[in-house]
Each structure stands twice: as C-alpha cells, then as structure tokens.
Amino acid sequence: MASRPRTLYEKIWDAHVVERREDGTCLLYIDRHLVHEVTSPQAFEGLRVAGRRVRRPELTLAVPDHNVPTTARLGADGTPLPIADPESAAQLAALTRNTAEFGIPYIPATAPAQGIVHVVGPEQGFSLPGATVVCGDSHTAAHGGIGALAFGIGTSEVEHVLATQTLLLAGSKTMEVRVEGDLGPGITAKDLILHIIGRIGTAGGTGHVIEYRGRVFEEMSVEGRLTVCNMSIEGGARAGLIAPDETVFAWLEGRPMAPAGEAWDAALAWWRTLATDPGARFDKSVVIDAAEVEPTVTWGTSPEDVAGIGGHVPDPDSFADPAKQAAAAKSLAYMGLAPGTPLSDIPVENVFIGSCTNSRIEDLRAAAAVLDGRTKAPGVKWAIAVPGSGLVKRQAEAEGLDRIFTAAGFEWREPGCSACLAMNPDKVPAGERCASTSNRNFVGRQGPGARTHLMSPAMAAAAAVTGRLTDVRALMAS
Amino acid sequence: MKPVATIEGRAIPLGLKNLDTDVIIPAHWLKTITRDGLGKGAFETLRAEPGNILDDPEYAGAPILIAGDNFGCGSSREHAAWALADLGIAAVIAPSFSDIFSGNAFKNGILTVALPQEAVDRLLEVARDHPVTVDLDSQTVTTPFQDRFAFAIDPFRKHCLSEGLDEIGLTLASSAAIGAFERMEGRPWLVPSASPANVGLNGTIA
C-alpha cells in the first residue's frame, strides 16, 4: 500500500477496490445497502426480468419511510390499518413482496424499529465506520457522520448493487471544510451546515467528497454529525465525512446489528486507523470561522439562500452573478417576500420538526426544551413533531417529550419522512409558510405552492411559539 | 439499452440554473412501480405557467434540452431521467450537472453534455430558431452556423453509450474478482456478524 499520506476518504475507497480499470474507474465493494419503497420497485423488476438474484441479501436492509402516513398504523385491536392512498399502498405492498421474494431483511411499517432509512441505519448499527453505504436516496450522505463513505444512488445503481454488491465508480475529488474556533451558545449543527452551504453554494461540492474537520466536529454529538453530513448533498457533494472517533464507537457499541465480541475489537482496531493522515492533501479547502455562525434560516428556494436570523431578505440586485440575480428574484416571488424585510418579521403558519436531517432524539430534546411551558402562537395552524424512528419515538416518550409537544399544540406522529417531501398526506398548503427542520426548500417540495424556511429544531420550536421566524436565543435567555 | 450515436434536432432553450429533480419530476409522481409514462409529470410546475417554453409547439418532440448550471441537483430520484426519456429527450446540455443525475441519465442512455457557460449561452441563442447537433463519436456540439464545441466524456461511459451495453452484465463478468474480495482476510467490516438476523422479518429487535 502506498505510503503517501491519505485522506479518510482515500483510505475507505482504497479498502473497497475490487478492480481498478485502465481509465481509473473502480469496481467498488458496497458493504451496506439501504432500500426504501420509492426508488426500489423498478430495480427488483429489473432483476426479475433479467432472471438475476441478489448476491448478498444480508448486506441489504429494507424499511419503508417516504410514503407511509404518519398517523396511527395499528387499529385498537392491534391489526394494521389500511393505507388510504392506493398508490402508496401498492408501493408498500411491492416492497413487502420484493424483500420476501429476494430474502432481504425487512422492517415493515408497523414494526417498532421502523423509521427513516437514514435514522434506522446508524441506530441499528447497520451503518458502520469505514463501510461503504449506499441507498437510493441522496441524503444517504448522512451516514458519513459515523465515518461511513455513504452516498445516494439512482434506481439502476440500486439494481446493480443488488445483483453484484458493487458499483462501478470514478473516484471523487476531496474537499476539506475546516471549521475553526467554537460555535456560540445556542448554535447547532443545523445552523452550521446551513451556513456552510451558504458559503460554498449548492454546486460548491460537485464532484467532491467533503471531509468536515475541526474541533467543533470532534466535540459534536453523533446526532449533530449525522445532521451535518446529511446536507452535504445540498452543497453538491457526493458524500460528507467526519472522522470516526471514540464518541462514535461508544455510540455504536452494542447496537443490534453492529459487530460484537472479537469482530467488534477487530473492527475497532481498523476504525482507529481511518483518520486523515497528517500532510494529506485535499483538492479544495474552505475555512469557516465558527464564531460567525448565527442561528441560520433560508429565505429562498435553494438551500444556499441562507442568512443569519438577525439579517434581512436580500435584494436580488445585491448578487454579483446575473444568473443568481434572476434566480433570487424568482425565489422571492415564489416565497412572497420583499427585499429588505427583517427575517424576524416573517410569519409562519406551519411548523415541521422531523426528517432525516433532524428527527433524532437530540433534535426532539432541543425543540422540547424551547417548547416546555409554552404553546404555539395563534397564527400557527399546523405544527407536527415526527420522530425519525419507532425507537426514537419510544425514547422521547420515556423522557416525557411527547407530552411537552402536545401541550404546546403539536401533533405527535408516527415515524416517517412526513412533510419533508410532499409524498405522503403531510403537506404544507399552497401559499403558506413552514418553519421546517428538513433539508430542502425547493419550489413545491413540501406541497405545491408551499413556502419553506429551513432551520434547526430549536429555531423551528421558537417560530412555533412566536408565530414568526425568531432568534431562539432570546427565548433561551428568558 | 439502445446505442447512442448522433442526436440532431431542435433543442429546448430552457436556461435556468439549479433546476432540481423536484422540479423535473415532483414527488407525487414517484408513487409508481414502473419506469413508464413519467413524461406527463415532467416539469409540472414550470408547465403550469401559460406560454411556457416546454409546451411551445416550436419545440415539440425536441430531443435536446439546454439548461443552466447545476442541472439535476437535489434528490437522487432516477424518475427525473425516466421522465426526460419519456419526453423524448436524448441529450441535455448545461454548464454543469449534479453527480447523481448525470449517472442516472447515463444509465438511461441520456447524454449529459457539460460545456462552458459562454458556449451554453451561444447555444441557447441559436436554439431559439435553429437545430443543434450532438455527436457522441466526435464529442462535439455543432450548429448550422459553424459553431463547434467539444465536450469531455468518461471513456467507459462513451463506450457503454455507443455500444448500448448493460452495465450489470459487464460487472457480473467480474464475479470471480468480487468473490475473491469477499474472501479476503483482515476486513472485519465485511463480516456479516453485523447479524441482520437480529432484525427479524417482523421488524422486532432481538
């Protein structure tokens, strides 16, 4: 093996190369494959048509999340309730059928372990440091938070992984996002990643794998790291990584699907060698001053349209790039916002706390800490809290968080992707705003005509309480 | 897959930067278990605007789409590529593409052509009234006005596209190498002692 210093990404990549082709593309072994109901039916159909089998069914784990309603799934007698939308029901039935036919481990919608793929993977110890993890979903980048090389793939690639347990890939360039200093009080992982995307732009990481470096990440919880890496794709990057450390190892040990005993010790020994070597070179480097990060929200229809909560809606003419001027003007028209409006004057009618970005226990605790003893403002018509998995939900209920949410006027839901993507019954009405902890503020993302403002769980809770975008630090002080 | 050679015809001069896959095909169209018929939902929000360029009869049946920077960003949904294919789009020209979209397009025989912004601007202008030609073999985009823009493409992708190859079939030819990799020692992360059996078929946790 080459002795030149290597980055974390290069070490994981090199350890998974099955064959290197003349042109530099590699057949890369895939250790872990997550499957959900939306991007897999055509892949299974492809296997059937070609008469192909699944090479290693035990390395794939399937769980429905995108389509499932977040209302009660079991009737009073404990039997599963029917899903009203026939197309959603058909997609779920197809996943049940396909996983049974091909022998793939499957967590059905009614099971206690069900949840969003990117919450379930790390939670079960299925996703591991140093592993290659793929899923037909762009937010697979999340698993980089525990040190996995994880990226989203299309359905043809899902089929390719099922059939061969490999992908044919050209390597990515490496990009370092180095955060210097410490985050201020009340500033979260979500504020930081929104700030980073604002700096690098939605195409800033295209063709690259980002490694997030700096003391901030070393001191960050696993949940926070998953949030940061989750949104790497919003910066255009194929994947995001944070070097796995003792915090991650302690978090993973004893999880149901994680290695145990001697296998755990052997894995641990390897995981401890994964950090980027001193002197390793990145193709691109960006330095962020942590002290500059405010509670951050989006004002437009691209995740790069961010500003600190103390700021204003920008004037499109203030951007240097003419294409960006046009895009910003279009965004503001869609969002119904006038340039110069203070962000803290923007009212919201809906609040969504959930999604693969922010639905873990720490996210629910942060929101509940703000909501405790408070209620949602009269102008807030709909507020929902959607745990990322059944296990997160159970934990939150054991801590009494569900009662804080419901006392504040929130609906406490069953796990799923929910209002992140307008595929299930949880949608934001046209023309209304939503303070949302999800990852995309695209046109129509939360429903046709819906206006999304992305922010952290604590900030979304603050918006629920005041009925407008609000600096949560003011509520924390009181 | 059908082999790709020369794509010639009208090109829809759409422009627009950061066209995400939620715009190319909104999520409610994703509740399908087949690849077919998604053209109906393609660019639904843009096509809801009266006089939109996508429904302009001038460009009916156009095999080429010209867009702005970072085309296909966002969700990994391959439905975006299926929807474009269903519309009859065989090539997309833009200054840059998201990594996942360009992979998905390739798997469906759609050529993604990345050209510098100046070249794309020129093509947007020409395409208003004239055809455009994308030639995979010579890796060029040409117009009736002697414009000639060379583009780069990964040699493997070019080979697969021009031969119409099935990538899974190609990889299965490496089955022995994959098996050897799986049997290598000292790779604890491969050992499925990560007992998936602990999560049973009913989703219970042992």
Report the residue from A110, A259, A445 with minimal CB separation from B194: A259
Return phi, psi of residue A213, to 5°: -130, 150
pLDDT of residue A380: 98
Contact A446, A429 (CB under 8 A): no
Same domain, A278 and A153: no
Longest Cα separation, chain A: 65
pLDDT of residue B206: 39
Nearest-Cα distance to chain A for B104, in Å, is: 6
With respect to residue A431, please indicate whether it lies within any of the assigned structural domains.
yes
Residue B26 has pLDDT above 80, yes or no: yes
Q: What is the pLDDT of residues B172-200, one digit of tens each?
A: 999 999 999 998 866 655 655 444 434 54
- Chain A positions touching B172 (Cβ under 8 A) are 52, 163-164
Residue A98 has pLDDT above 60, yes or no: yes
pLDDT of residue B198: 45
Query: Chain A residue with minimal CA distance to B35?
Result: A42
pLDDT of residue B166: 85
Same domain, A278 and A322: no
Contact A422, B28 (CB under 8 A): yes
- Chain B positions touching A323 (Cβ under 8 A) are 17, 68-69
pLDDT band (50, 70, 90) for residue B205? very low
pLDDT band (50, 70, 90) for residue B60? very high
- Close Cβ partners of B66 (under 8 Å, ≥ 6 residues apart): B11, B12, B13, B14, B15, B92, B93, B94, B120, B123, B124, B127, B132
Cross-chain residue pair B204–A170, CB shorter than 8 Å: no
- Close Cβ partners of A209 (under 8 Å, ≥ 6 residues apart): A9, A149, A172, A173, A174, A175, A237, A238, A239, A240, A241
Among A269, A292, A315, the domain-final residue is A292
Best B21, B25, B47, B78 member to test A by mutation, with max A CBs in 10 Å, is B78
Summarize the confidence of residues A246-260 as an average pLDDT: 93
Same domain, A98 and A215: no
Among A169, A195, A215, the domain-final residue is A169
Count Cβ–Cβ pairs < 8 Å, chain A vs chain B: 236
Residue A290 has pLDDT above 60, yes or no: yes
- Chain A positions touching B99 (Cβ under 8 A) are 172, 206-207, 236, 238
Cross-chain residue pair B194–A128, CB shorter than 8 Å: yes
Cross-chain residue pair A423–B30, CB shorter than 8 Å: yes
Nearest-Cα distance to chain B for A432, in Å, is: 17
Cross-chain residue pair A113–B203, CB shorter than 8 Å: yes
Q: What is the pLDDT of residues B68-94, one digit of tens each?
A: 999 999 999 999 999 999 999 999 999
Cross-chain residue pair B23–A443, CB shorter than 8 Å: yes
CATH of the domain at A266: 3.40.1060.10
The secondary structure element, H or E, covering residue B122 is helix B117-127
Cross-chain residue pair B196–A61, CB shorter than 8 Å: yes
Helix A86-102, helix A41-50: angle, nearest 10 = 50
The pLDDT > 70 percentage for chain B reads: 89
- Chain B positions touching A126 (Cβ under 8 A) are 194, 196
E-strand stretches of A130-188: 132-135, 149-152, 166-169, 173-180
CATH of the domain at A385: 3.30.499.10
Q: How many structural domains comprise chain A?
A: 3
> Cα(A79)–Cα(A101) distance, rounded to whole angstroms?
24
- Close Cβ partners of A247 (under 8 Å, ≥ 6 residues apart): A218, A221, A222
The secondary structure element, H or E, covering residue A32 is strand A32-35
- Whether this model's ipTM surpasses 0.90 comes out as yes
The secondary structure element, H or E, covering residue A93 is helix A86-102
Q: Which two tokens stand for residue A188?
A: 């979260």
Q: What is the pLDDT of residues A438-467, one digit of tens each?
A: 999 999 999 999 999 999 999 999 999 999
Same domain, A331 and A468: yes
> Cα(A174)–Cα(A180) distance, rounded to whole angstroms?
19
Same domain, A32 and A151: yes
Give the length of chain B: 206
A345 exposure class (CB count in 10 Å sphere: 0-12, 13-18, 19+): exposed
CA B83: distance to chain centroid? 10
With respect to residue A3, please indicate whether it lies within any of the assigned structural domains.
no
Nearest-Cα distance to chain B for A112, in Å, is: 7
Amino acid identity at A109: A
Report the residue from A130, A155, A233 with minimal CB separation from B189: A130
Cross-chain residue pair A270–B78, CB shorter than 8 Å: no
Note the helical H segments in B38-87.
44-47, 79-87
Same domain, A279 and A301: no
In sequence order, what DSSP letters do the residues of A431-461 get, joined into one string? T-EEEE-SS---TTTTSTT-EEEE--HHHHH
> Cα(A309)–Cα(A452) distance, rounded to whole angstroms?
15
Query: Chain B residue with minimal CA distance to A159?
Result: B168
- Chain B positions touching A125 (Cβ under 8 A) are 194
pLDDT of residue A323: 84
Q: What is the pLDDT of residues B32-49, one digit of tens each?
A: 999 999 999 999 999 999
A76 exposure class (CB count in 10 Å sphere: 0-12, 13-18, 19+): exposed
Query: Chain B residue with minimal CA distance to A41?
Result: B33
Cross-chain residue pair A154–B78, CB shorter than 8 Å: yes
Return phi, psi of residue A288, to 5°: -120, 135
pLDDT of residue B196: 41
Residue B202 has pLDDT above 80, yes or no: no
Q: How is chain B split into domains, by residue range?
A: 6-165, 169-198
Report the residue from A137, A163, A261 with minimal CB separation from B172: A163
- Close Cβ partners of A81 (under 8 Å, ≥ 6 residues apart): A72, A73, A74, A75
Strand ranges of the sheet holding A350-353, from the earlier edge strand across to the other edge? A411-412, A382-385, A350-353, A433-436, A451-454
pLDDT band (50, 70, 90) for residue A263? confident
> Cα(A210)–Cα(A196) distance, rounded to whole angstroms?
11
A296 strand-pairing partners: A308
pLDDT of residue A478: 57
pLDDT of residue A2: 53
Return the closest-CA partner of residue A417 out of A437, A400, A397.
Answer: A437
Nearest-Cα distance to chain A for B115, in Å, is: 15
pLDDT of residue B201: 40
E-strand stretches of A309-385: 350-353, 382-385
Q: What is the DSSP letter of A419?
A: G
Cross-chain residue pair A164–B178, CB shorter than 8 Å: yes
E-strand stretches of A129-207: 132-135, 149-152, 166-169, 173-180
Q: What is the DSSP letter of A389?
A: B
pLDDT of residue A23: 83
pLDDT band (50, 70, 90) for residue A435? very high
Same domain, A280 and A380: no
B140 strand-pairing partners: B135, B150
Nearest-Cα distance to chain A for B6, in Å, is: 24
Query: Chain A residue with minimal CA distance to B73?
Result: A236
Superfamily of domain B6-165: Aconitase, domain 4 (3.20.19.10)
Average pLDDT, rounded, for chain A: 96
With respect to residue A364, please indicate whether it lies within any of the assigned structural domains.
yes
Cross-chain residue pair B194–A18, CB shorter than 8 Å: no
Residue B16 has pLDDT above 60, yes or no: yes
Nearest-Cα distance to chain B for A363, in Å, is: 23
Same domain, A465 and A329: yes
Cross-chain residue pair B156–A260, CB shorter than 8 Å: no
pLDDT band (50, 70, 90) for residue A256? confident
Nearest-Cα distance to chain B for A268, in Å, is: 9
pLDDT of residue A335: 98
Cross-chain residue pair A442–B23, CB shorter than 8 Å: yes
Same domain, A130 and A199: no
CA A303: distance to chain centroid? 13
Query: Chain B residue with minimal CA distance to A115?
Result: B203
pLDDT band (50, 70, 90) for residue A92? very high
Query: Chain A residue with minimal CA distance to B109?
Result: A156
Question: By mean pLDDT, which of A204-213, A410-419, B116-125, B164-173 is the weakest?
Answer: B164-173
Q: Tokens 């703000």: give the residue.
A: A370
Same domain, A305 and A435: yes
Q: What is the DSSP letter of B139?
A: T
Which range of residues forms the domain containing residue A141?
8-169
Cross-chain residue pair B188–A270, CB shorter than 8 Å: yes
- Chain A positions touching B31 (Cβ under 8 A) are 38, 67, 85, 87-88, 90-91, 423
Cross-chain residue pair A164–B155, CB shorter than 8 Å: no
Q: What is the DSSP letter of A124?
A: T
Q: What is the pLDDT of residues A152-164, one digit of tens each?
A: 999 999 999 999 9
Same domain, A248 and A347: no
The secondary structure element, H or E, covering residue A331 is helix A322-335
Contact A139, A230 (CB under 8 A): yes
Average pLDDT, rounded, for chain B: 90
Report the residue from B30, B171, B193 with minimal CB separation from A260: B193
pLDDT band (50, 70, 90) for residue A174? very high
- Close Cβ partners of A319 (under 8 Å, ≥ 6 residues apart): A325, A328
The pLDDT > 90 percentage for chain B reads: 83
Report the residue from B22, B68, B205 with minimal CB separation from A445: B22
Cα-trace Rg, chain A: 22
Contact B198, B205 (CB under 8 A): yes
Same domain, A371 and A245: no
Summarize the confidence of residues A293-321 as an average pLDDT: 97
Report the residue from B22, B31, B203 with minimal CB separation from A108: B203
> Cα(B108)–Cα(A155) distance, rounded to whole angstroms?
11
Among A240, A258, A292, the domain-final residue is A292
Return the closest-CA partner of residue B190 out of A241, A166, A2, A210.
Answer: A166
Cross-chain residue pair B156–A19, CB shorter than 8 Å: no
Half-sphere exposure of B134 (CA within 13 A, CB side): 29
- Chain A positions touching B18 (Cβ under 8 A) are 202-203, 302, 327
Cross-chain residue pair B156–A444, CB shorter than 8 Å: no
Cross-chain residue pair B203–A266, CB shorter than 8 Å: no
